Each structure stands twice: as C-alpha cells, then as structure tokens.
Amino acid sequence: MDKSRFEAFSDGVFAFAITLLVLGVVLPQLHQPSEAQLSSALYGLWPNVVAYVLSFAVIGIMWQNHHALFRMIARVDRMTVFLNLLLLAATAFIPFATSTLGTYPTMRSSTFLYGLVLTLCATAYNLMLLHLVRRRAFHASVGDETILATIRAYRVGWVGYALAMLLAMIDPLASFVAYLLIAAYYVIPRGLDSDTT
C-alpha cells in the first residue's frame, strides 16, 4: 500500500466530513416570516452552531493527529489500512452525531451518542497506534520517547472522551461542556508549542 495514496484518501474523508458538518445546521421552514420570526429562528440555531464549531475542532484535531502520526511511519500494511478504515468510519459518522447533539443539546441519549462516536474514534486511533508500535512500522529516526509520549497522549484522549460520554448519563449539559473543554484544550496552540515547526 502506497503511503501517499493512503494519506490522500484519509485526508479526503477528513476534509469531506468536516465540510458536511454544515448540513447539521438547518433553518426550519417558515412561511413568509416577519423580521422577528426569521431572526428568532436563526438565534434558535445557536446550539447547532456550537456543535458545529465543536465538531470542526474535533475533526481538525484528528486530522492533525493523523498527519503527525503517519509522518513517523515508514510503511502501511493491510491491518493498518483496516484499522484506519475503522477510524474513518467513526469519523465520517460525526456529522450525524453533531446534528443530533445540536438539535437536542441537553438530552442524555444525544450527548451520550456524541461521546460514543468520539470514543470509537479514539479507540480506533489507539488500536492503530498499538499495531504500528508492535509491527515497528516507525521510521528508524523516531526515538522511543516520542513513541511513548504519543501512546500516553492517545490514552489520555481516550479516557477524556470516555469520561465525558459517561457524564452524559448524569448531566447531559455538563457532558456537552466537557466535550467543548477537551476540544479547546487540544485545538488551541499553547505558548511554546507554536515556536516549533
């Protein structure tokens, strides 16, 4: 499997899934609305817009992680392609989970579903990473410390999404906020990081 075509296909799915998110923001049909009716219908979409921004950040992070991971990888075998397909299947499902979350932002099943899909993404990432480590698919130049740091970072991400998902059973709104905090933590660059290329 040629790594560049593998990456191009993955990038395509990430880019399409991130762009499809906008279909989760739907203006209800109004018949010749007044200015007040139209603007209140648009205001009423703000949970959908928050969910849109959240998922944009989530998929954006995943794309960056994918990129950072495969830069270190020398070769891609069939099992990697399979696990990557799992990851992409979970990622491409995010638009549905996002539109459900945006429409029902304070309900248990919608916030749980959202966390479930993100946890599936994180699971696929962890399985793929473990496989790559076991097969020693990394470039020789990649140090053990870098690999260990990646393993730890991936586990922390998995735990974060899983806890936020479980939180949905107790307090859906808190769960939604947790997703936002996790995404903000990962997506906003921190001081020194941005110095390095």
Query: Is 77 a residue that touches its own copies (CB under 8 A)?
Result: yes
Q: How far is the CB of 120 from its own copies (least distance, A)?
A: 11
Q: Do 164 and 179 form a contact (C-beta atoms < 8 A)?
A: yes
Query: Is 75 a residue that touches its own copies (CB under 8 A)?
Result: yes
Query: H helices within 72-107, ranges in order?
Result: 78-92, 94-103
Query: Is 23 a residue that touches its own copies (CB under 8 A)?
Result: yes
> Residue from 46, 81, 149, 156 that binds its own copies (CB under 8 A)?
81
Looking at the Cβ atoms of 153 and 187, the one nearer to its own copies is: 187
Query: Is 13 a residue that touches its own copies (CB under 8 A)?
Result: yes
* Region of 38-46, 145-153, 160-168, 173-181 interacting with its own copies (CB under 8 A): 38-46
Structure tokens at 57: 């950040």
In DSSP notation, 21-38 reads: GGGG--PPP-SS--HHHH
Query: Is 21 a residue that touches its own copies (CB under 8 A)?
Result: yes
CA distances from 125 to 89, 184, 187 (A): 12, 20, 17
Query: Is 113 a residue that touches its own copies (CB under 8 A)?
Result: yes
Return d(Cα 164, Cα 178) in angstroms, integer. Answer: 6
Q: Is 174 helix (H, G, I), strand (E, B) or coil?
A: helix
Q: Which residues contact 183 (CB under 8 A, 6 or more apart)?
A: 54, 57, 58, 61
User: Which of 176, 5, 14 has the alpha carbon at shortest distance from 91?
Assistant: 14
Query: Is 120 a residue that touches its own copies (CB under 8 A)?
Result: no
Query: Is 146 a residue that touches its own copies (CB under 8 A)?
Result: no
User: Which of 137, 121, 125, 134 has the alpha carbon at shortest distance from 77?
Assistant: 137
Query: Is 69 a residue that touches its own copies (CB under 8 A)?
Result: no
> Residue from 53, 147, 153, 162 that binds its own copies (CB under 8 A)?
53
Query: Is 27 a residue that touches its own copies (CB under 8 A)?
Result: yes
Q: Which residues contact 53 (CB under 8 A, 6 or more apart)?
A: none
- What does the binding site for its own copies look like in residue numbers (CB under 8 A)? 1-2, 5, 7-9, 11-23, 25, 27, 33, 35, 38-39, 42, 52-53, 56-57, 60, 63-64, 67, 71, 75-79, 81-82, 85, 88-89, 92-93, 95-96, 99-100, 103-104, 107-110, 113, 187-189, 193-197
